[in-house]
Amino acid sequence: MLAAKSLNLAVGDIKVRLGEGVTIGNLKISTDSALQMNTFFYKDRDGRSAFRIDSFSDVLSGKVKADDFKDKIVLIGLTASALDPTKVTPISPAMPSVLTEAHAVSSILQEHFFVSPTWAWIVELVVFLVVAAYLIALLPQLKAGMGAIVSASLVALLLIVHVVLMTGQGMWLQLMLPMVLLVVGHVLLVTKRFAVTERGKEVSDASSAANARMLGLAFQGQGQLDMAFDYFRKVPLDNTVMDNLYNLGLDFERKRQFNKAESVFRYMADFDPKFRDLETRLNRAKQMSETVMLGGGSGGRTNTSILEGGSVEKPMLGRYQIEKELGKGAMGVVYLGKDPKIGRVVAIKTMALAQEFEADELVEVKERFFREAETAGRLSHPNIVTIYDAGEEHDLCYIAMELLKGKDLAPYVKPGNLLPQDKAVSVIARVADALGYAHKQHIVHRDIKPANIMYEPESDQVKVADFGIARITDSSKTKTGMVLGTPSYMSPEQLSGKKVDGQSDLFSLAVSLYQLLCGKLPFEGDSMAQLMFRIANEPAPDIRTINPEVSPGLVAFLDKALAKEADQRYQGGDEFAAALRAAFANPASAAPAGDVDISL
């Protein structure tokens, strides 16, 4: 009525459209089905109210002139909250009723109001169902990061649509309910997923720990104590695992590997230093690990003793005095020894054959050991390690050999630490010369690999080690089930059990050259069966895909040297060495000499 009076309109000019809205002259007021209008509220600007407010007493006293209200709608009402109940509006938590009415009248006159269309409930229901479908069907399929991005994007989209419709179109859709559902649903689903994942992880960890413990026990039962220790360390420590580790430490002690026993006991002490007699065991293992002990695990005597004052009397092995331990091999320990009579310093390789072979095989294995050692001792070549002596002491068999300053080639097969190509070719060519010499003496190495090729960079000295050792063990099964030899370097005929000759050594040497040139083995597999199949049937990958700097001449050389059939390879160490040097000297060569067929 106020809006109509201000426009000089009568009651007859007010038309009501039930369920749709009201018209006042040319003004259209959109309402909901109950004829309720959603008023637009005007914000204050620069600290001033959107509408002029004057005190009634100022008007009455004349401070405010009556002319100020000419041609204006003037509303009179209470503004003190103690005298008139206030209302909550979008711009004020406590707005006087008269001011609320002013906003309403202005909204009508300027047709500023928010409209909730009759079809709004349909849109709101559709949006709600879409959000629910997203939470039920799509969100569980997404990864956590992607789910968070999609959910945040939907929340932002709902907010933007809501604001744009209200400010730009004056249209009010209830989109906050779907937004709340989206946020709450996402949080609940992520919380549930986290809880389920954590529970699954706990179950998985428990299962992995149980498997690791069983594998540790299995390896310990086979005598592979290092592998057992690796698996036991993957299991969370408790009293049961501590018992397993304690027994493992005792097994290391029985094998006189006191440094490893010390490592086990020290690992246990970090968890519970008061476990059984752990402190005593740890101190004893530490003391004994600093003392050179000889002999196997049969309980035989040793000739090492601790003298008064804690000094150690150096043990003797045959006629050699043991100075210190140099390292460990697959079946024994290598010591630095000295012949007191002539002052010769030697490397002594021991083999605890009694621990590795059954009693019915032991006699035959020992006979073969001394026969092969004698045969290898006859080799005299500048690139073959010289063997001086062989013998048996306590339950150890040993070979005294030339002491070398250099180390094996194993560190030089790792990417980033490769030898220069000329060095690698030079080393392998000299090894081929040595193998050619040995093969003419009817001696086959059987275990050529970088670890058995000694190299001293300063003097550029190359030596082939361990001649005859592989032959001692290749046809016998050890007590521990240990795999002797290195399958990755074996030739197809060696893997198939055929008679092995010098061709097999040259194949292994070609594998070693391939690895030295690119840092990767030519044949690899996830299992022993897969590895054997690839060695026997599949050609080696093109080395240039790994190291493009390898010349075509060397590629062609490797193709022939790694042929599956022995008669298609180089037929001797001398031919192998000559062809290798020629391939390196002529890098552009596409094929080794003798492989090109020229027809007219």
- Phi and psi at 383, nearest 5°, equal -110, 20
Nearest Cα residue to 38 out of 117, 98, 96: 117
Q: Does 68 participate in catalysis according to the annotation?
A: no
Quick check: helix, strand or coil at residue 401?
strand
What are 513's two structure tokens? 């050259």
Tokens of 127: 């949006």
Region of 309 (left: φ > 0; alpha: ψ -120 to 50; beta: rest) is left
Q: Per DSSP, what are the bridge partners of residue 349?
A: 334, 399
Q: Cβ contacts of residue 41 below 8 Å, gap of 6+? A: 89, 90, 91, 103
Compute the residue count for the chain. Answer: 600
C-alpha to C-alpha distance for 453 and 455, rounded to whole angstroms:
7
Please answer whether residues 326 and 335 qualify as being in contact, where contact means their C-beta atoms are separated by less than 8 angstroms: yes
| 324: phi then psi, degrees, rounded to nearest 5 | -165, 170
**Nearest Cα to Cα of residue 369 among 395, 347, 345:** 395
Question: Which residue, chain included where needed, has tokens 């050389």?
Answer: 557
Task: For residues 476 and 472, give the distance between their C-alpha atoms in angstroms, rounded to a whole number.
Answer: 8
Residue 204 φ/ψ region, left for φ over 0, alpha for ψ in the -120 to 50 degree band, beta for the rest = alpha
Question: What CA–CA distances, in Å, run from 285 to 248, 264, 281, 322, 398?
Answer: 13, 10, 6, 20, 25
Burial class (CB in 10 A: 0-12, 13-18, 19+), 235: buried
Selected catalytic residue, list 251, 389, 447, 559: 447
Q: Among all residues, which ones are annotated catalytic?
A: 447
